[in-house]
Structure 1
Amino acid sequence: MIIDLSSNSKTIPACPICQRMGQKVRKETVEHQVNQGIKVLGEQFFLCRTPECKVAYYSQDEKKPIFQDQLHNKIWFKKVPPPVPICYCANVTEEEILYHVAVAKCCSTLEDIKKHTGANTGCECLTKNPAGG
């Protein structure tokens, strides 16, 4: 299935497993996310946004998707066991942020969280975040 959002937009193919629309990601992002030995075939990639689906990336060109267990980073919104990064650049997890807010009680604003954890201060999202930059 291919979903056409409007007559002026490009078509976005649906995930081959869950049949839901994905989000465009750059090939460079996918190449940095896959485990060593996994071949990245195709030119345009999409991130499957369905939490229950095991597919991480798929391509319009290639019929074989890339699954979450073929990546070295967990995708934060997929149903995977913790810890899962909230900020991939600084490798900050949800547990670390909760610790600073609820236990250490040193953070009450986003600026405090950035200062204490380093979250949201990096600039490598294109290659470190599975959703790209």
Structure 2
Amino acid sequence: MDCCAPSYNTGVAKTECPSCGEKSKNVQLITLKSLLKASALETMEPENSYVFCSNPACSIVYFSGNHSQTFAASDLKVPVYQKNPSMDVPVCYCFDWTRERLLQTIGNDRQPADQIKAHVQEGRCGCEVNNPQGACCLGNVSAFVRGLNQG
């Protein structure tokens, strides 16, 4: 299944994070298997469903649907865009669009979102295994660029 296809669904925001209470979205098990460090992966319970918390103020990245298990940013192989404000953190994990790179391209003829869309149309994205939120990054990229254009 194409992670950037309109029909791709990682789950409706419905499960509340046990730490911050924010409604969060389900992620596929393949996302955790791809991004957890070995020490965290060894403790993952594959029979559970897992949820991604996007709240920047919350230390939890993933939690099990039954709240029996949590994983923090330190348990992941990659920094989490929503949790880490550094300029070198990817906004788009598949094509390495960091905040810094996006900032450098503002005003160019070909916008980053257009480049990413072209790659997506060619079937090159792998957000379910690259992006900690387990879903397409285009919304994050567009929101970041809009924020730059308004600032």
TM (norm. structure 1) is 0.73
Structure 2 residue matching 1:37: 3-state secondary structure: helix
Greater relative contact order structure (CA < 8 Å, 6+ sep): 2
1:57 aligns with 2:62: yes
- Residue 109 of structure 1 and its aligned partner are, at CA, apart by 4.1
Whose helix proportion is higher, 1 or 2? 2
The residue number in structure 2 matching 1:82 is 87
The residue number in structure 2 matching 1:40 is 44
CA RMSD, 1 decimal: 2.5
Q: Which amino acid aligns with 1:23?
A: K
Q: Which amino acid aligns with 2:15?
A: P
- Residue 61 of structure 1 and its aligned partner are, at CA, apart by 3.5
Q: Percent identity?
A: 22
2:19/2:58 contact within 8 Å kept: yes
- Unpaired runs of at least 5, structure 1: 1-9
Structure 2 CA distance for partners of 1:20 and 1:99, relative to 1, 3 Å = same
2:60/2:70 contact within 8 Å kept: yes
- Unpaired runs of at least 5, structure 2: 1-11, 136-151
TM (norm. structure 2) is 0.66
The residue number in structure 2 matching 1:110 is 111
- Residue 37 of structure 1 and its aligned partner are, at CA, apart by 2.0
Q: Render the CA deviation track for 1:62-105: whole Å, top value 9, x for unaligned.
A: 5220001111122212244331101101122110121122xxx5
